[in-house]
Structure 1
Amino acid sequence: MSDIHNGDGKRPGHLDGCPRSFRELRTLLSEDLYRYSGQVSTAQAFKHYLFTPGFKYTCWMRSTGYLKTKKITKLTVYPLFKLILLRCRYKYGIAIPENTVIGGGLFINRFGGIYVHNDAVIGRNCNITPGVLLGQINRGSKAGAPTLGDRVFLGSGAKVVGKVTVGNDAAIGVNALVTSDVPANGVMAAPQATMISERGSSAYINRQA
């Protein structure tokens, strides 16, 4: 993990979420694939790469991050992969930087209007849907980016902004705005996110890696 910080706490160019070995990259992508198909095989990987924009984006995102960590590939292959990743970003409307800390089993349901700040942290087996924002606040007591636990479900249009923590198994409802911490198993409803139950995200997170 990078120890380089500037004066306002940001970490420009950090490599926190980049896989450091090909084995780690392969494991992460296998866990991601399992969330889409319930199995891991070359045929399933090929199928979802061709027909599932979320998985295709994840492949380029994680691979680009891996290449960024190596001195030789950073100067040679990485720029090409970065260009392809940017093309996918504009084509599918998914903006998740390659250095974002994201656990295995990421599931991007559909696509469009998805933005994640590169200082955000996403746990294992999380679901992201269209219109989701994980954004940064630059000043005040909540300055920073969100941290999501494991098995978090983000409904369409959900916004989580600032240095807040969303606990394991939480579910953020459609168009809910979250600006304060969410406990484990919390279910938050729109408009200003309010906890309406403690039944969590278990009904939404399947085929866990």
Structure 2
Amino acid sequence: MTDHHSTLQKDFYRESGKWLSTLQMLKKSISPNLHFIYIFRKTQQYSKTPILGFYWRLILRHFQIKYGFQIYPETEIGEGFYLGHWGSLVINPKVKIGKNCNIAQGVTIGQQNRGNKKGFPIIGNQVWIGPNAVIVGGINIGNNVLIAPNAYVNFDVPNDSVVVGNPAQIYTNPNATEGYINNLI
């Protein structure tokens, strides 16, 4: 893959496995997931431009409410971002998410306000987060990690791991996200 493709094109590539023109991306953005990602990236792109930044923030706010994605433009999310399903998703604006990450519906990624894990999660590359998972606190999630549906994660997770349950258990697996994350960039 070439580096001259935009972050937005890389996000859309994850969905289809094809490089798309701007017009093709607009056609594909009928899907709520891709539509939201398109608006999210545009809001990030114009965040330092007063009038356009305000315009895109208003548009983003509308679609946050419509689709149930509480993701703010301040959130650092790497290229190749993929939303599996729309609805009920909360990500704190101070969270950092790496490249090629999939997030399903019902997920909460947030801060912990006290204790030794006070802070916000940092999530690595190639991470699959299943439905209704909760990830909280000043923790690090490594690369190539699968967080199973309904898992509660408030501790560091090493690379090449599968996290299951509540309380969660970590299982080492060098192929943790194989078959779960497609069209890597």
Q: Please give the range of the TM-score, normalised by the shorter of the 2 chains.
A: over 0.9
Unaligned runs of 5+ in 1: 1-22
1:45 aligns with 2:34: no
Normalised by the length of structure 1, the TM-score is 0.82
Of 109, 116, 134, the residue aligned with 2:91 is 116
Q: CA deviation at 1:197?
A: 4.2
Amino acid at match of 1:68: S
Following superposition, the deviation at residue 190 of structure 1 comes to 1.5
TM-score, normalised to structure 2, is: 0.92
RMSD of equivalent CA atoms: 1.6
- The AA in structure 2 aligned to 1:112 is G
1:202–1:110 distance in 2 versus 1, CA, 3 Å: same
Q: Which amino acid aligns with 1:208?
A: L
Deviation digits for residues 19-78 of structure 1, max 9, x if unmatched? Answer: xxxx99x6110110100111122354123211x211111111111122112xxx22x122
CA distance in 2, matches of 1:132, 1:44: 29
Does the alignment pair 1:60 with 2:35?
no
Secondary structure at the counterpart of residue 29 of structure 2: helix
Is the 8 Å Cα contact of residues 164 and 179 (structure 1) preserved in structure 2?
yes
The equivalent residue for 1:33 is 12
Give the superposition deviation at 1:139.
1.7
How far apart, CA to CA, are the structure 2 residues paired with 1:47 and 1:173?
32
CA distance in 2, matches of 1:131, 1:192: 18
1:34 partner SS: helix
Segments of structure 2 that go 5 or more residues without pairing to the other structure are: none
Q: Which runs of at least 4 in structure 1 moved beyond 4 Å after TM superposition? A: none
Equivalent AA in structure 2 for residue 201 of structure 1:
T
Where 1:183 maps in the other structure, the secondary structure is coil
3-state SS in 2 of match to 1:195? strand
Q: Equivalent residue for 2:168?
A: 193
Deviation at 1:207, TM superposition (A): 0.3
Contact kept? 1:184, 1:200, Cα under 8 Å: no
- 8 Å contact from structure 1 (residues 37, 44) kept in 2: no
Q: 1:46-195 residue pairs with structure 2 within 5 A?
A: 46-50=26-30, 52-69=31-48, 73-74=49-50, 76-195=51-170
Q: 1:110: Cα distance to partner?
A: 1.1
Q: How many residue pairs were aligned?
A: 181
CA drift of 1:206 comes to 0.6
For residues 47 and 109 of structure 1, the distance between their equivalents in structure 2, rounded to whole angstroms, comes to: 18
